[in-house]
Structure 1
Amino acid sequence: MKEITGTTDLKSNILWNTSGTVFYQGCLWLMTVLVARMSSDYQNAGMLAFAMSVGNIYTAIGTFTMRTFQVSDIAEKYSSSNYIAFRIFTVGLGFILCAIYGIIVSPSIETTLVILSFLLFKADESFVNVFYGCDQKAKRLDIVGKSQFIRGLLIIVLFVLGMKATDNLSLSLCCIFFACIATTIIFDRAQTKGTTSSIAPSIKKSQCFTLFKICLPTVVGNVIAGLIVSAARQYFGIAFGEEALGIYATVATPCVIIQVLAQNLYAPLLLPIAETLHDEGAKEAWKKAAKMILMVMTVSVVLSILLITVSTPLLHFLYGNTILPYVNVLPMALLVMSEIAVSYAITDVLIIYGKLKQTLMLSFIAFICMGICIIPLTNAWYMNGLNATLIIAYAIAIIYGLITIYFSVKKDDDHR
């Protein structure tokens, strides 16, 4: 491996990773605000929300949920070149599958074009994630943070210019895609070269098949996890209209800050947990993992309280009087996002512990619960019925995940 220069301190890594990624996700959220403000109605907001829901599914396939597995590969069974080559394969596969899915579920031609444009953007986002894995393993999350700052700024500037110049959502998303892929080639590729031995794609068929087989349960689980929210929102959009979905997404999107901040605060802690598991066993690793999950819960609660406190003036400032009748959707949406953040943390712990099949079961349980609840609860409580459905689904999945980790630690402890 090449000599690493730059900041490798844990606190610096947390600061750079969190600030950069929160800025990036904040820009994605701001894009949903701008699309509503720059349009005469909520139609564009609804199409973008629909495309984002398909994009969530694509992220699971495109990244193949390899980041945590890649970082926890302490023994370096697979090289950076292997992971990069495998990512090229999964990005292409995911695009084809999600493009077909998007065309099938799309309610209009306009929405289909928006979905395809957004998938191009997500393809680049999914690919650069493998570079981020190399950076994280080298304890250089400062590179990730800088990359996210650059991308966030480009997204907002080009989205505004694209909407003003063309008044076309799909063309504006294409502009963002070209800017982000240029960032991957010019900035990320050059930076990641300095953190690992080689980034030239290289993988044997046997290695590709083995990686595919090992990670497939988690990928299917994450596709299902993406479908939990996506399918629920898509059903809501089909049942109650794209404008209703646009309104819900407009109110609920600020809640994403909880998931983003929580995930990126704990991301630098995954490598130390994996190292502890490798060196000291499951019980010692769980002590660190439990603190991480508790931190996610604490951050989620604090942010939820803050957002509820300022929700009415904030939403009024961003969207005007038309959004005020729907402010009551926010508190339950915050609880949904808090549960999602916790479930993602538990899923990452399960991956580190090698319980990849159990990550599939966790998502499957939540999806089944969602499918059972979505129709009666949305019919009864409209937008908050959507929130109630997701709250129930994720609560049950979280309980399952914690029980699984408990028995895994107990088994390892008994064995020792």
Structure 2
Amino acid sequence: MNNTPSQKSIYIWNLLGNFAAAAVSVLYLLIVSRMQTSEVADQFSLATSIGNLWIIIGQFQVRNYQATDVKSSHPFSAYFYTRLLTVTMMVISLFPYLWTINYDFTNNSVMIITWIIVYRVADAFSDLFQGYFQQHGRLDIAGKAMVYRYALSVLILLFGLLLSHSMVLTLLALALFNLFFVFSYDYAHFKLFDKLSFRNSFSRNTIDESFKIIRVCFSLFIYGFLLTLVFNEAKLSISGAYAKGIVEAGAQRDYNILFMPVFFMSLCILVVRPLITQMAELWQRKKFQVFYKMFLKILLLTLSIGIVITFLTYLIGVNVLSLIFGLDLLKYKLELTILVLSGVLYSFSIILENILIIMRKHYYLLSVYILMFIVTKMITTELVNKYQIMGASISFCIAMIVYAIGSLTIFSIIKFRRK
């Protein structure tokens, strides 16, 4: 706390932390695929997909707003109270959702989903403290927290399955460990910088500030929720197709493995996360020329890296995944390439969205998200039923094309109006 780290140290720890965050899902699926049956691996894959959707409710997309609140417009107690509300909504809405989609879940499936959600509750609270560290220029602490927590979580999953052979008991241990870690590490480090009075967190002023945060971030939440629905639509359609006998056991697992590189493409965003707060400060100081120059560099770098990765994926992507997961994935060469290209478009769009958040013009993206969601709902089930995993890949790529073109159009219109 007393020794301010160098920018290099902050950048490296942020990079390592976000790499760990992207890699942990791959390692989880790798361990489960190798140590459990295809049926359990499918259940775990679906549970993680639902967890990815429900964490949006828990985080309520407050992180970027919190990190760019460079003037501390809201006290941390208001952000904390907001997170309590959103996590409560996250938990109580789970079972009505499972009842609604009704894919003939077994008791084992429901327990796996439940403990995955508890695990994601820990992620939601960790994200709150990481947002504080980012807001105050200490992303190195956030990076260290992610590296330590995710590394230990992988070991718990591995040895838990080795010792118990039970997916449910292992996920129970994993969830409880993550809750403990967030309290003993993230919160403990937060206390070195600030104090959180639980009494003040429930004061009238804090509650009013919290609802201000919710109102400002509501559009971001809708965007995040719609985007994750788009991400999950193909996975849910595959589950539906399996229930109808259209696809075989293991299809959900295979698609999730092929989809993993999309999350790694998001590293292009996470690597530049320290620059987002800097850009917010440039925008506040009205240094627009420097702001747009930095934005253009980030965009060009992301696209350049994305094109290279897509080309390499076409050449050796399925060979690498087959070797890592011990499965025959060679028949999915084109599907994987399409998904990686979709990940490039996703990264491009997220950069534009972050810029619009800094400008406080993000609410204009509503039409883009609604259009993307409608297109996805219209085409996904039919494509999956007809072309299985290829159909799922094409559907997701079309959605990302809509996302990229729509985001670029909105940004261009706003920039033109400012001129």
TM-score by length of 2: 0.91
- How do residues 281-300 of structure 1 correspond to structure 2 at under 5 angstroms? 284-300=290-306
State the alpha-carbon separation in 2 of the partners of residues 126 and 65 from structure 1. Answer: 10
- How do residues 392-403 of structure 1 correspond to structure 2 at under 5 angstroms? 392-403=398-409
Question: What corresponds to 1:55 in structure 2?
Answer: 51
Is 1:338 aligned to 2:344, yes or no?
yes
The gaps in structure 1 that reach 5 residues or longer are: none
- How do residues 1-80 of structure 1 correspond to structure 2 at under 5 angstroms? 5-9=3-7, 11-40=8-37, 42-80=38-76
Give, as a single letter, the amino acid of the residue that structure 2 aligns with 1:66: V
CA shift, 1:224, in A, is 0.7
Question: What corresponds to 2:391 in structure 1?
Answer: 385
8 Å Cα contact 1:166/1:172 also seen in 2: yes
Question: What corresponds to 1:131 in structure 2?
Answer: 129
CA shift, 1:28, in A, is 2.1
8 Å Cα contact 2:261/2:343 also seen in 1: no
SS in 2 for 1:366: helix
Q: Which moved more, 1:148-157 or 1:317-326?
A: 317-326
RMSD of equivalent CA atoms: 2.1
Give, as a single letter, the amino acid of the residue that structure 2 aligns with 1:127: F
8 Å Cα contact 1:258/1:338 also seen in 2: yes
Is 1:230 aligned to 2:227, yes or no?
no
Question: What corresponds to 2:85 in structure 1?
Answer: 89
Q: Which moved more, 1:70-79 or 1:300-309?
A: 300-309
Give, as a single letter, the amino acid of the residue that structure 1 aligns with 2:221: V
- How do residues 204-353 of structure 1 correspond to structure 2 at under 5 angstroms? 204-240=206-242, 241=247, 243-259=250-266, 261-280=267-286, 284-353=290-359
CA shift, 1:4, in A, is 5.6
The gaps in structure 2 that reach 5 residues or longer are: none
8 Å Cα contact 1:72/1:352 also seen in 2: yes
TM-score by length of 1: 0.91
State the alpha-carbon separation in 2 of the partners of residues 303 and 16 from structure 1. Answer: 23
CA shift, 1:233, in A, is 1.4
8 Å Cα contact 1:269/1:292 also seen in 2: no
8 Å Cα contact 1:222/1:360 also seen in 2: no
1:206-244 Cα deviation digits (max 9, x unpaired): 212221111111101111111001122101221145531
Q: Which moved more, 1:186-195 or 1:312-321?
A: 312-321
1:290–1:193 distance in 2 versus 1, CA, 3 Å: farther
CA shift, 1:103, in A, is 4.2
- How do residues 116-195 of structure 1 correspond to structure 2 at under 5 angstroms? 116-195=114-193
1:81-136 Cα deviation digits (max 9, x unpaired): 22122112211112222343134325212222211110000010011101001111
1:378-411 Cα deviation digits (max 9, x unpaired): 3443212111111111112211111212222232
State the alpha-carbon separation in 2 of the partners of residues 56 and 263 from structure 1. Answer: 18
State the alpha-carbon separation in 2 of the partners of residues 5 and 362 from structure 1. Answer: 44
8 Å Cα contact 1:282/1:409 also seen in 2: no
* Residue identity (%): 21
1:398–1:31 distance in 2 versus 1, CA, 3 Å: same
1:50–1:321 distance in 2 versus 1, CA, 3 Å: closer
SS in 1 for 2:137: coil
SS in 2 for 1:322: coil
8 Å Cα contact 1:286/1:409 also seen in 2: no
State the alpha-carbon separation in 2 of the partners of residues 408 and 140 from structure 1. Answer: 32
1:372–1:131 distance in 2 versus 1, CA, 3 Å: same
Identify which of 356, 360, 383 aligns with 2:362: 356
8 Å Cα contact 1:86/1:208 also seen in 2: yes
SS in 2 for 1:280: coil
Aligned length, in residue pairs: 407
- Greater than 4 Å deviation, 4+ residue runs: 281-284
8 Å Cα contact 2:112/2:168 also seen in 1: yes
SS in 1 for 2:271: helix
State the alpha-carbon separation in 2 of the partners of residues 222 and 412 from structure 1. Answer: 26
8 Å Cα contact 2:349/2:408 also seen in 1: no
CA shift, 1:12, in A, is 3.0
Give, as a single letter, the amino acid of the residue that structure 2 aligns with 1:199: L
CA shift, 1:142, in A, is 0.9
Give, as a single letter, the amino acid of the residue that structure 2 aligns with 1:235: S
Give, as a single letter, the amino acid of the residue that structure 1 aligns with 2:295: A
Give, as a single letter, the amino acid of the residue that structure 2 aligns with 1:215: C
Identify which of 108, 111, 115 aligns with 2:109: 111
1:234–1:65 distance in 2 versus 1, CA, 3 Å: same
